[in-house]
Amino acid sequence: NAGVIQTPRHKVTGKGQEATLWCEPISGHSAVFWYRQTIVQGLEFLTYFRNQAPIDDSGMPKERFSAQMPNQSHSTLKIQSTQPQDSAVYLCASSSGGANSDYTFGSGTRLLVI
């Protein structure tokens, strides 16, 4: 079990460019979550999927952020027209399902927008 895999580990983009972040959840886990981590705000919920269906995206900045889960083996977080304030560590987590399930986190993608 390789755990939750996130790629790339680091990404540098120029202001206004697009960034796509990838997450491969643990095989068999039905729920996938995206979080953003910054020093100022801490860990913020962005969105989650259950059985590939988007369930709650209330944490997503609406205009430039989107997330998809085209199959059970990966999810993507896309940021269009990146801004310096998007610089953060983006963490993906997966869970086997159920209210008392463990959440397994990936190592994160460190995004720097310059």
Partner 1 sequence: AQSVTQPDARVTVSEGASLQLRCKYSSSGTPYLFWYVQYPRQGLQLLLKYYSGDPVVQGVNGFEAEFSKSNSSFHLRKASVHWSDSAVYFCVLSGGDYAQGLTFGLGTRVSVFP
**Residue 45 within binding range of partner 1, rule CB under 8 A:** yes
Quote the least distance from Cβ 6 to partner 1, whole Å: 8
- Of the pair 36, 82, the CB lying nearest partner 1 is at 36
Q: What is the CA radius of gyration of the chain?
A: 13
| Residues contacting 45, CB < 8 A, separation 6+ | 33, 34, 35, 58, 59
Q: Would you say how long the chain is, in residues?
A: 114
Quote the least distance from Cβ 16 to partner 1, whole Å: 27
- Of the pair 82, 95, the CB lying nearest partner 1 is at 95
Q: What is the spatial distance between Cα 109 and Cα 95, in angstroms, rounded to a whole number?
A: 19
**Residue 99 within binding range of partner 1, rule CB under 8 A:** yes
Quote the least distance from Cβ 56 to partner 1, whole Å: 6
**Residue 50 within binding range of partner 1, rule CB under 8 A:** yes
**Residue 59 within binding range of partner 1, rule CB under 8 A:** yes
Per the DSSP assignment, residues forming a β-bridge with 11 are 111
CB 59 within 8 A of CB 69: no
